[in-house]
Structure 1
């Protein structure tokens, strides 16, 4: 049985998959910036892991988990498009991707939604991607 939490394994797999993409790095100012929390001084465009939920989805003979996971992409000031372009690239890289996961096997990863929004108080624009995934504990 795996000791790595399935959500953490999925997040690590996503990060590893996105990190090597030159086009995404270009949209994010030269390197892929995907964080749990932005380091001090981080300037957009960057992405954060958002809410995540894991539910048991076991079937006979396989310990499985169903995931709901969000990523938020923060825009350059005055440029909603900067967030939407980066989010679109992330979505295209992850939708139906085959990721290597530590202690788990990825059965499904699908982009469900991509939405743009603006914080009324700060005016900050962002794009949010919602994914669904199914993982299986590696034997």
Structure 2
């Protein structure tokens, strides 16, 4: 993984962990890079990342597609939708500081909320697109 991807993931984790609205919805700081084996619900986990080189000149520019997962068991889809909305509010066009890199933009691209096969767990998949360049 690129150093820009690591810096972006770290900045997103910090932003989500310190977002008051999200933390209130989760009932505490339940944002994980790697969830514990038996996490308390609801929670958010940083998921898959895809990095693409989109350089147009000598400056290495990368496009990042990052997936966040929100998990809820609070009787229906409402809580999963609320958490997905809080993720959008916390991150869409957020001016995050990245170690050694410049965040050109960070934009919401997709959300999908569905009930899992156990019939009681709701899973929100929220994707963001970011563009990074090396710091000048």
TM-score (norm 2): 0.90
1:132 partnered with 2:129:
yes
Task: Provide the rounded CA distance (Å) in 2 between the counterparts of 1:137 and 1:17.
Answer: 20
Deviations 1:32-68 (A, max 9, x none): x221221133111111112110011112242110111
More displaced 10-residue stretch of structure 1: 56-65 or 108-117: 56-65
Contact 1:4 1:103 in 2 (8 A): no
**Among candidates 64, 67, 70, match of residue 67 of structure 2:** 70
Task: Provide the rounded CA distance (Å) in 2 between the counterparts of 1:134 and 1:92.
Answer: 18
Deviations 1:93-127 (A, max 9, x none): 1111110111111001000111101122x222111
Contact 2:26 2:43 in 1 (8 A): yes
**Other-structure match for 1:8:** 6
**Other-structure match for 2:78:** 81
Please give the root-mean-square deviation of Cα atoms over the aligned residues, in Å. Answer: 1.7
Task: Provide the rounded CA distance (Å) in 1 between the counterparts of 2:105 and 2:20.
Answer: 24
Instruction: Give the deviation of 1:5 after TM superposition.
Output: 1.9
Task: Provide the rounded CA distance (Å) in 1 between the counterparts of 2:51 and 2:122.
Answer: 28
**Among candidates 10, 28, 31, match of residue 30 of structure 1:** 28
Instruction: Give the deviation of 1:19 after TM superposition.
Output: 1.8
1:116 partnered with 2:119:
no
Task: Provide the rounded CA distance (Å) in 1 between the counterparts of 2:36 and 2:58.
Answer: 42
Task: Provide the rounded CA distance (Å) in 1 between the counterparts of 2:62 and 2:72.
Answer: 32
Gaps of 5+ in 1: none
Task: Provide the rounded CA distance (Å) in 2 between the counterparts of 1:55 and 1:103.
Answer: 18
Contact 2:54 2:62 in 1 (8 A): yes
